[in-house]
Amino acid sequence: MEKKLKGFLEECYNAVLEGDKQKAEKLATEAVKSGYDPYLVIENGLVQGIEKLGERWEQGTCFLPELVLGAEAVKAGISILQEPILKSKAGRKNLPRVIIGTIEGDIHDIGKTLVATMLSANGFEVIDLGVDVKSDNFVKMAKKYEPKFLCLSSLLTTTMQNEIRVIEGLKKANLRKKLKVMVGGAPASLSWAKEIGADLYAENAISAVKVAQREIGHESKRK
C-alpha cells in the first residue's frame, strides 16, 4: 500500500478512536475528492477503529461514551463515503439489512440503540423501529424490507414473552425462514433464544456484530 494512503487510513482509524465525528467527516470528504477506494477507507480505516474500541470495551478498558462516540464517527464517515458508491449503480454493493427494535411494552432504548449503532458502523444497513414496537409491526416491516436479520431487544422479563408473538407472526406470514431472528437484552440468553425458537443470541453490542458477521460468512480481509 502506498505510504500516503497508509497514513490516511491511520488518520481515519485515529479519528474513530478519538470519537471525533468532525474529523471523520473531513477525512471522508477528502477521500472522496482524492478518489480513494471508499470501501478501503471504510474497511481498513474507520471500521478498524471501531473494532479496536470494541476490543477495548470487552477488556473493560474503554466505556460506553468512547464506544458511542466512536460509532457515531464511523457512521458519519460512512454516510459520506457511500454517496459516490450509491450514485454509480455498478458499484452498489448490497449491505446486509437489519431491522431492530425494543419489544412491545418495553421502552428501554439504550442497549437497542447501541446495537443498532454498532451494526451500522460495521457496514450493516439498519432500520431502527424504536421502542415499544408492536409485534405486528415487526412482522409488517420484515415483510416490507426483507431484512437478513430481525433483532429483538428486551430489558423486562415480563415483556420478553412478546418475542414469542413476533416469531409466531413471522411464521404465519411465511417469513420465518427468510430471515434470522436475533434476541438480546439483559434478561435474554442462549437458552431463552432456543426456548422461543429464535436463531441467534447476542450478549452485547459487540457480540451482536460478531454474530451477524459470522452468519453472513463475513471474512475479514484484514490482519
Provide the binding-site residues for another protein, judged by CB under 8 A: 59-66, 68-69, 104-107, 110, 132, 156-162, 187-189, 191-192, 195-196
Residue pair 69/114 in contact by the 8 Å Cβ criterion: no
Q: Phi and psi of 142, rounded to 5°?
A: -65, -35
Choice between 44 and 102, CB closer to another protein: 102
Residue pair 98/125 in contact by the 8 Å Cβ criterion: yes
Q: What is the smallest separation between the CB atom of 160 and another protein, expressed in angstroms?
A: 6
Q: What is the smallest separation between the CB atom of 18 and another protein, expressed in angstroms?
A: 12
Q: What is the smallest separation between the CB atom of 61 and another protein, expressed in angstroms?
A: 7
How buried is residue 112: exposed, middle or buried, by Cβ count under 10 Å (0-12/13-18/19+)? buried
Choice between 9 and 183, CB closer to another protein: 183
Choice between 59 and 94, CB closer to another protein: 59
Torsion over CA: 30, 32, 38, 42 (sign): positive
Choice between 67 and 139, CB closer to another protein: 67
Q: What is the smallest separation between the CB atom of 89 and another protein, expressed in angstroms?
A: 37
Closest CA to 103 of 150, 147, 61: 150
Closest CA to 188 of 151, 154, 138: 154
Choice between 39 and 192, CB closer to another protein: 192
Q: What is the smallest separation between the CB atom of 77 and another protein, expressed in angstroms?
A: 17
Q: Which residue has the cell 458502523?
A: 121
**DSSP label of 102:** E
Q: Which residue has the cell 411494552?
A: 105
Choice between 59 and 174, CB closer to another protein: 59
Choice between 68 and 85, CB closer to another protein: 68
Q: What is the smallest separation between the CB atom of 1 and another protein, expressed in angstroms?
A: 33
Q: What is the smallest separation between the CB atom of 154 and another protein, expressed in angstroms?
A: 10
Residue pair 17/49 in contact by the 8 Å Cβ criterion: yes
CA distances in angstroms from 27 to 59, 71, 77, listed in the order given: 29, 15, 8
What amino acid occupies position 22?
Q
